[in-house]
Amino acid sequence: MRWDEVPTPVEALFPSQDAKERLDDYLTRTLAAADSRVKQGPVMPDLDMAKFRQELVQYDFEAPQPMQALMDWTVAQLEHGTVHMTNGRYFGLFNPAPTFPAQLADRISGCFNPQLASSGSSPVPVALEAHVIGAWARRAGLPPESAGHFTTSGSEANYTALICALTRAEPRFATEGTRAFSGPVAMYTSRECQPAWHKIAHQAGVGRQAVRLVATDGSGRLDANALAGALLEDRRRGVVPVLISPTAGTTGAGMVDPLLACSDIAREHSAWFHVDAAWGGAALCSDRLRAELAGIERADSITIDAHKWLATTMGCGMFITRYPKVLSDAFHVGADFMPSTASSLDPYLNTVQWSRRFLGLRLFLSLAAAGWGGYAAHVERSVAVAAQIQSGLDDLGWQTVNDSRLAVLCVLPPEGSRPVRQIVQRLLAAGRAWAAVAQFEGRDVVRICVTHGETSAEDAATLIAGLEAAR
Ligand SMILES: *Cc1c(COP(=O)(O)O)cnc(C)c1O
């Protein structure tokens, strides 16, 4: 085929400028309308899934279909086919209503589609992400040489921490794997940890048995004495402790493990000290709440998920370390085809990923638009709403069993109520508010987390009334 016989681009994939603007404007209006309906409507999905599946099989991808109708269909399915984190009555897991700047960032990075593997192809995006990471490292009190990168998730960041710990503990781990160690390796966190650690140990090749779930002290926090004891016992048996990872903001109850004591123990045993602050790290924005995370400044590395309390769109974690050299020891590789500036800071030479999306723009735009003060107000507001819910439930005879100073409540109904699991089931069946069942110190509790930046007093009252009606 001659060059001038090559067919014109497929209009559906690459529309004219005019058509793009029309579709864009249409989508903007459609989404705004759907978003405001979602805020008023039920939190739970109310889609007929059988009908949805019938419609779905009709998409056999044989005949092209018009984009506008496809967008209408997609938005309608999402409006009725998910639990709505963007509804102020979602008091759920750490899933936020996303900030608008983060949504705009997704549009911008989608348009330019920069490849963040290398600073050679994406000098500005790579420098911008490094700038944001540096700002968080300083905020956490880490030294100036600290660095890191954005990850798709807290799990990827925690995985990175374990790889760094292994790489620093035994240089031959790079070539020989865990065989290089003098004995089996172990990592330590509490039994209240986020369970992805088990998958991480599996992936990293140390085996799930390497995860030591240290007891808690009755308040949901890791028991530092139990940690010290577990390390001594393991060392005596020839086990090599590589990583100690307390949680700052546990998934179940929003508790902060004793970071200073864990740091002392990690130092004593030359283990890597990682703070999993996936959710709780957001408290660093607030001068009032920062003290809750005292000791985080001693971390060898930190995980913070921007897609949790910092409310960016999904899949935006951060890994921050005071030893960036260990990242390049762990993730370096030779690749002649890469457009490198020979900068050792290239993300593909320092991280798990290769091709990489411009995730950091979400937090850059959110933080630049609101400032630390705006984020402090956001975080402090969640804590105030949680306190309001606590006192409302307290008046009705409910009991809060955790004493998190962050925005998670674990509550029990008054004597004579139904079991917690039934209460939550009935709450969700009614559909007006969402809360979870969790385990706190061995018993079922109703877990309430304030995740939405605009939850109103009325939303809080709806939750309380819903729980009362369900109990
Ligand atoms: C959410 C969470 C994780 C896992 O992060 P993902 O982004 O969901 O992969 C790990 N640790 C804690 C404390 C978390 O809250």
Whether the pLDDT of residue 337 is over 80: the answer is no
CA of 378: how far to CAs of 249, 279, 309, in Å? 17, 14, 9
Whether the pLDDT of residue 339 is over 80: the answer is no
DSSP 312: -
Asked whether residue 159 falls in the same domain as residue 270, the answer is: yes
Asked whether residue 124 falls in the same domain as residue 195, the answer is: yes
Whether the pLDDT of residue 287 is over 60: the answer is yes
Q: Does any domain span residue 107? A: no
Asked whether residue 349 falls in the same domain as residue 382, the answer is: no
Please choose from 198, 279, 296 the residue to mutate so as to test ligand 1's pocket, defined by most ligand atoms within 8 A of CB.
279
Report pLDDT for 341. Answer: 55
* Residue 190 main-chain phi, psi, to 5 deg: -95, 170
- Of the three residues 342, 366, 390, the one that is the final residue of a domain is 366
Average pLDDT of the chain to the nearest whole number = 96
Asked whether residue 348 falls in the same domain as residue 372, the answer is: no
Asked whether residue 451 falls in the same domain as residue 344, the answer is: no
Domain range enclosing 49: 3-80
CATH of residue 328's domain is 3.40.640.10
Q: How far apart are the CA of 95 and the centre of ligand 1, in A?
A: 10
Q: What is the pLDDT confidence band of residue 280, given thresholds at 50, 70 and 90?
A: very high
**CA atoms of 409 and 451, how far apart (whole Å):** 12
Of 212-221, 285-294, 307-316, 327-336, the poorest mean pLDDT is in 327-336
Asked whether residue 324 falls in the same domain as residue 375, the answer is: no
Asked whether residue 30 falls in the same domain as residue 150, the answer is: no
Q: Which residue's CA is the nearest one to ligand 1's atom 6? A: 154
278 in contact with ligand 1, CB cutoff 6 A: yes
Ligand 1 atom with minimal separation from the 155 CA? 9
**Tens digit of pLDDT for each residue in 126-162?**
999 999 999 999 999 999 999 999 999 999 999 999 9
**CA atoms of 12 and 23, how far apart (whole Å):** 11
Q: Does any domain span residue 215? A: yes
Asked whether residue 380 falls in the same domain as residue 392, the answer is: yes
Report pLDDT for 343. Answer: 60
Angle between helices 259-268 and 224-236 (to 10 degrees): 20
Asked whether residue 248 falls in the same domain as residue 352, the answer is: yes
Q: Does any domain span residue 109? A: no
Q: Interior CA angle at 108 toward 104 and 114, to 5°?
A: 145
Dihedral (C-alpha) 356, 360, 362, 366: value to the nearest 10 degrees?
180
Q: Does any domain span residue 286? A: yes
Q: What is the pLDDT confidence band of residue 283, given thresholds at 50, 70 and 90?
A: very high
- Of the three residues 366, 386, 401, the one that is the final residue of a domain is 366
Tokens of 180: 């290089």
276 in contact with ligand 1, CB cutoff 6 A: yes
317 in contact with ligand 1, CB cutoff 6 A: yes
- Of the three residues 338, 366, 394, the one that is the final residue of a domain is 366
94 in contact with ligand 1, CB cutoff 6 A: yes
Asked whether residue 62 falls in the same domain as residue 132, the answer is: no
Q: Which residue's CA is the nearest one to ligand 1's atom 3? A: 154
Q: What is the pLDDT confidence band of residue 342, given thresholds at 50, 70 and 90?
A: low
Asked whether residue 69 falls in the same domain as residue 122, the answer is: no
Q: Does any domain span residue 458? A: yes
155 in contact with ligand 1, CB cutoff 6 A: yes
Q: How far apart are the CA of 257 and the centre of ligand 1, in A?
A: 15
Three-class DSSP category at 319: strand
Q: How far apart are the CA of 201 and the centre of ligand 1, in A?
A: 15
Nearest to 159 by CA among 345, 255, 303, 329: 303
Q: How far apart are the CA of 87 and the centre of ligand 1, in A?
A: 22
Tally the domains of the chain.
3
316 in contact with ligand 1, CB cutoff 6 A: no
**Tens digit of pLDDT for each residue in 4-60?**
777 777 889 999 999 999 999 999 999 999 999 999 999 999 999 999 999 999 999
CATH of residue 425's domain is 3.90.1150.170
Report pLDDT for 345. Answer: 80
257 in contact with ligand 1, CB cutoff 6 A: no
Q: Does any domain span residue 100? A: no
**Tens digit of pLDDT for each residue in 381-428?**
999 999 999 999 999 999 999 999 999 999 999 999 999 999 999 999
Ligand 1 atom with minimal separation from the 307 CA? 7
Q: Are 120 and 336 in contact (CB under 8 A)?
A: no
Ligand 1 atom with minimal separation from the 277 CA? 13
Q: Does any domain span residue 319? A: yes
Q: Does any domain span residue 69? A: yes
280 in contact with ligand 1, CB cutoff 6 A: no
Stated as kind and residue range, the H or E segment containing 243 is strand 240-244
Ligand 1 atom with minimal separation from the 250 CA? 13
Asked whether residue 203 falls in the same domain as residue 227, the answer is: yes
Nearest to 274 by CA among 317, 321, 228: 321
